[in-house]
Structure 1
């Protein structure tokens, strides 16, 4: 075998290994997303929603500690990689709607009353939140986007008008079918969810 042929074979082998590694990583990421907990309406309570939405209270990497005249810095050494930013607090909530509509069911309203209690709690009262609507991929992309927008807006409307959450604390956005939680089963109920995200900026 010539040196050129050997080099080409080695390149193909390395490429195959890289592709396999990327596929494995993609599968792991999909599995991790599918494993994200989704709160079903009957399981929602103020405590679980508060835990999911409350930003971490620990000090950041730039905080300094002063003790007996010395300053102990938590800053990493020059050139050292900075820690990854904390994950934005969010709650995946399986709010149900009438088929192909943005009308909240009675069980959805009862669940949102508990969500409102959490948003009004001492731990969350100072924060704003974004309500993201999701749809499964059945139907056209445009129809799914409109449906997800209407569902997110319906949740915001209920929380503000029925439960008294200040309107400036809530915004809504539709995600269509672009961000399924369960990619292995596109029509799974968790892909027709509402996500509430804490706005920390």
Structure 2
């Protein structure tokens, strides 16, 4: 491979969308049940963009025989320094509940990961993120009738910022939903 080809490959890789914790943040008011279902479905159920007109599905055989797990970063707002959900957060979580109850996702378990920005002490941020993850879990169980055995609340504190360049950015205060399918 010559230098030009290597540079072209580097630019193409850099242009690829990020995944996992580095993925895009879905803001309140922009939550869509169908997009959540597609993002949270295991690989064999997740659409793959192709150059053709149709939508392909990831093949479990092509990924080494195991399905990859989906995750979604959501902006979920709370009252300041509390785990109390705002009305906008409850509306977004109603859509999340619809997605989790869908036929494609109803058999899977999910982690609800709470994240915080670095303001305050690490211990306080960890506790607050745990309380917020639990608040989201409780809302989905009580308001959307999601089986509590399917949801695990986990506090991550401020250890995994989505925006590392601006630690206090709102996207660092988020909830990540991770498919725990096994």
Normalising by the smaller structure, the TM-score range is: 0.7 to 0.9
Q: Hey, what does 2:8 align to over in structure 1?
A: none
Q: Hey, what does 2:172 align to over in structure 1?
A: 191
* TM-score after normalising by structure 1: 0.71
CA distance in structure 1 between the partners assigned to 2:60 and 2:108 by the alignment: 19
Q: Hey, what does 2:60 align to over in structure 1?
A: 60
Q: 2:107 aligns with which of 126, 131, 140?
A: 126
The 5 Å alignment of 1:46-57 reads 46-57=33-44
Q: 1:156 aligns with which of 121, 137, 145?
A: 137
Counterpart contact for 2:134–2:153, Cα < 8 Å: yes
User: Where does the alignment leave 5 or more consecutive residues of structure 2 unmatched?
Assistant: 1-13, 45-57
* TM-score after normalising by structure 2: 0.78
Pair 1:88-2:75 in alignment:
no
Q: Hey, what does 1:64 align to over in structure 2?
A: none
Q: Hey, what does 1:115 align to over in structure 2?
A: 96
- Give SS of 1:103's match: coil
Q: Hey, what does 2:85 align to over in structure 1?
A: 104
Q: Write the deviation string for residues 59-118 of structure 1: whole angstroms up to 9, x where unpaired.
A: 433xxxxxxxxxxxx8xxxxxxx9697642101000001111110000000100000000
Q: Which has the larger radius of gyration?
A: 1
Quote how far apart the aligned CAs of 1:135 are. 0.2
Q: 1:175 aligns with which of 147, 156, 162?
A: 156
Q: 1:44 aligns with which of 31, 38, 55?
A: 31
- Give SS of 1:126's match: coil
Task: Compute the RMSD of aligned alpha carbons.
Answer: 2.2
Quote how far apart the aligned CAs of 1:35 are. 6.0
- Give SS of 2:102's match: coil
Quote how far apart the aligned CAs of 1:51 are. 1.2
How many correspondences in the alignment?
A: 153
CA distance in structure 2 between the partners assigned to 1:94 and 1:110 by the alignment: 12
Q: Hey, what does 2:6 align to over in structure 1?
A: none
CA distance in structure 1 between the partners assigned to 2:134 and 2:120 by the alignment: 20
CA distance in structure 1 between the partners assigned to 2:123 and 2:136 by the alignment: 20
